[in-house]
Amino acid sequence: MKQTDDVMHEHWLVGSYRILRNAAGRLQRFFSSRAGLFTQFAVSVLLLLWLASALDARTWTAIHRIGVQGLVLVTFVFSTSQIFSGLRLACLLHKPRPWRLAIVSTFAGFFWSTFLPGTVGGDVVRIAKLRSAHIELTRATGAIFFDRLLNTLAVAVILAGSSAGLIAGWALENKGPFLTIFLLVLAAAVIAVLAGRALTRRELPEFLTSFLAPIRQLLSDRGLLLAVGLLTLCNIGSSIVAQWLLSNLLDMNVSFLTLTSIICLVTIATMLPISLNGIGLQEVSFVYLLTAAGTTSEKAIVFSLLVRAIIVGTSLIAGLAMLLNRALVSEPLAK
Give Dmax (Cα) for the chain.
Answer: 77
Q: What is the count of structural domains for the chain?
A: 1
Domain-embedded: residue 202: no
Model pTM score: 0.75
pLDDT at 244 over 90: yes
Domain-embedded: residue 111: yes
Region of poorest pLDDT, from 158-162, 164-168, 248-252 = 164-168
- Residue 247 is predicted with a pLDDT of 92
Per-residue pLDDT band at 48 (split at 50, 70, 90):
low
Burial of 236 (0-12, 13-18, 19+ CB in 10 A): buried
Per-residue pLDDT band at 202 (split at 50, 70, 90):
low
Domain-embedded: residue 141: yes
Tens-digit pLDDT profile for residues 175-189: 676 677 767 777 776
pLDDT at 54 over 90: no
Which residue from 72, 111, 107, 106 is spatially nearest to 89, judged by alpha carbons?
Answer: 106
User: Any residues with CB less than 8 A from the CB of 317 and at least 6 apart, and which?
Assistant: 75, 79, 107
Domain-embedded: residue 190: no
In angstroms, what CA-CA distances link 276 with 44, 157, 280, 286, 305?
6, 26, 8, 17, 16
Domain-embedded: residue 320: yes
pLDDT at 168 over 80: no
Region of poorest pLDDT, from 65-74, 108-117, 325-334 = 325-334
> Which domain does 71 fall in, by range?
33-165+214-334
Domain-embedded: residue 173: no
| Distance in angstroms (rounded) separating the CA atoms of residues 250 and 62 | 7
Q: Which residue has the higher pLDDT, 57 or 150?
A: 150
- Residue 41 is predicted with a pLDDT of 54
Q: What is the DSSP letter of 204?
A: -
Tens-digit pLDDT profile for residues 260-279: 999 999 998 888 777 666 77
- Residue 276 is predicted with a pLDDT of 65
pLDDT at 84 over 90: yes
Per-residue pLDDT band at 78 (split at 50, 70, 90):
very high
Question: Looking at this protein, which amino acid is placed at residue 53?
Answer: S
Domain-embedded: residue 277: yes
- Residue 81 is predicted with a pLDDT of 93
Portion of the chain with pLDDT greater than 90, in percent: 17
Residues 195, 200, 203, 204: what is their CA dihedral angle, to the nearest 10 degrees? 60
Residue 72 has φ and ψ, to the nearest 5°, of: -65, -45
* Average of per-residue pLDDT across 318-334: 59
- When the pLDDT of each residue in the chain is averaged and rounded to a whole number, the result is 76
Domain-embedded: residue 2: no
pLDDT at 43 over 70: no
- Residue 2 is predicted with a pLDDT of 46
Tens-digit pLDDT profile for residues 2-28: 455 444 544 544 554 455 555 555 555
